Amino acid sequence: MGTRMYFAEYGEPELVTAGEESVDVPGDGQVQVGIRAIAVNPMDWKIVAGYLQAFFPLQLPAVPGCEAAGTVTAVGNGVTDFKVGDEVIWNGFAGGYRSAANFPAGQLTLKPAGLDFEQAACVAIAGGAAYSALVQLGIGVGDTVLIHGAAGGVGSAAVQIARHLGARVIGTASEQNHAYLRGLGAEPVAYGEGLVERVRSLGTITAVVDTFGGEGTTAATVQLLGGHGTAVTTVPGKEANAAGIAPVKMLAGRVAEAARLAADGKLRFSIQERIPLTDAARALGISRAGHVRGKIVLVP
Ligand SMILES: NC(=O)c1ccc[n+]([C@@H]2O[C@H](COP(=O)([O-])OP(=O)(O)OC[C@H]3O[C@@H](n4cnc5c(N)ncnc54)[C@H](OP(=O)(O)O)[C@@H]3O)[C@@H](O)[C@H]2O)c1
């Protein structure tokens, strides 16, 4: 038997409760994974709230969770890329808040040996989005990148990868995260009123990664780029559309690439808190409050 965290109606994080389930023999093309760590993402509470129903319809009851890492315990017919004992990273849309699961083989990536399960669980979404954003922007030596929301999962990964690519990085965060950002190699600035002036006092921005979105942030991006340079966002919406800011296109191969950067020591997630899987509702509530530093990890 395994544990799953599920919700039977859309709404608050508290609706996500624990249940037992039998873990069947994997079907054709499926791989059974004993899950060791699950990363919490804003997408998880957005799914529970029902905000993504139009894009990804789910049949209820459903299980949130879009990335995890673990060990292969069985493989179904037709699976040739994985075998029992392999350590893997899973990235999907939902279904990851479990102690064990059967996943389609196509959603798995082999975990580099040197990467622990906790870090491996974090690389697909935050690492993959950050990597994709910086490739989309063509970041390299000579760039000065502004990252909105630099202390969060995507932001902290984008800071590290942009530094690795040779760029100068300015990152927005609340005061309490400024020392953390400096430690990652970014120059921190406070968001909110006066942001444009604070950034201008540090230099000229050539590119922007927006992981926060909304009216004020988008307006600051437009003013700072002033028609030069490019911006991408992980939070597309009417403001970004109106300003011509492109949504991040998630690149094929991003999970393996982010995992390789992590295994090589170029990318490391600060784990704000490790929370038992059965306490997932609390983890979702913390994520929804919007001030996570690095990542929250659920432990089955
Ligand atoms: N499109 C995609 O493929 C994709 C992929 C990944 C993520 N996303 C989306 O991208 C967003 C960020 O994800 P995440 O995982 O990085 O979130 P996260 O880990 O929860 O980080 C949120 C961060 O936002 C910062 N923040 C709060 N208020 C802010 C403000 N007014 N201005 C700037 N920053 C502020 C917080 O920093 P302080 O604590 O310092 O305030 C916190 O570190 C989410 O909406 C997520 O759904 C999209």
Tell the residue nearest (CA) to atom 2 of ligand 1: 234
> Terminal CA-to-CA distance of the chain, rounded, Å?
13
214 half-sphere exposure, CB direction, 13 A CA radius = 8
Among 83, 127, 89, CA closest to 109: 89
Domain ranges of the chain: 2-111+270-299, 126-247
Q: Which of 291, 296, 297 to mutate to test the pocket of ligand 1 (most atoms within 8 A of CB)?
A: 291
Could you tell me the CA-to-CA distances from 201 to 112, 159, 204 in Å, in that order?
41, 20, 9
**DSSP state at residue 236:** -
Query: What is the CA(282)–ligand 1 centre distance, in A?
Result: 18
Per-residue pLDDT for 229 more than 80? no
Q: Tell me the helix, strand and coil percentages in the chain, rounded to 5.
A: 35, 25, 40
Q: Which of 51, 93, 154, 249 to mutate to test the pocket of ligand 1 (most atoms within 8 A of CB)?
A: 154
Query: What is the CA(211)–ligand 1 centre distance, in A?
Result: 5
Among 160, 91, 94, CA closest to 130: 160
Buried b (16+ CB within 10 A) or exposed e, 105-123: bebbbebbeebebbbbbbb
Tell the residue nearest (CA) to atom 22 of ligand 1: 152
Q: Where are the alpha helices (DSSP H) in the chain?
A: 42-49, 117-122, 128-137, 153-164, 178-184, 195-200, 215-225, 238-243, 254-263, 280-289
pLDDT band at 166 (very low <50, low <70, confident <90, very high): very high
What does the pLDDT look like over 65-117, one tens digit per residue? 999 999 999 999 999 999 999 999 999 999 999 999 999 999 999 999 999 99
Query: What is the CA(81)–ligand 1 centre distance, in A?
Result: 34
What does the pLDDT look like over 180-204, one tens digit per residue? 999 999 999 999 999 999 999 999 9
The pLDDT mean for the chain works out to 97
Question: Six-digit token pair at 29?
Answer: 């093309």
Q: Write down the pTM of the prediction.
A: 0.98
Q: Looking at residue 228, what is its pLDDT?
A: 79
pLDDT band at 227 (very low <50, low <70, confident <90, very high): confident
Per-residue pLDDT for 211 more than 80? yes
Q: CA 177 to CA 140: how far, in whole Å?
A: 25
**DSSP state at residue 90:** E
Q: Which of 160, 170, 174, 193 to mutate to test the pocket of ligand 1 (most atoms within 8 A of CB)?
A: 174
Fold of 2-111+270-299: Quinone Oxidoreductase; Chain A, domain 1 (3.90.180)
What does the pLDDT look like over 37-75, one tens digit per residue? 999 999 999 999 999 999 889 999 999 999 999 999 999
Q: CA 208 to CA 218: how far, in whole Å?
A: 10
Q: CA 77 to CA 109: how far, in whole Å?
A: 18
What is the CATH number that goes with domain 126-247? 3.40.50.720
Query: What is the CA(244)–ligand 1 centre distance, in A?
Result: 20
Q: Which atom of ligand 1 is nearest to the CA of 132?
A: 3
Query: What is the CA(248)–ligand 1 centre distance, in A?
Result: 14
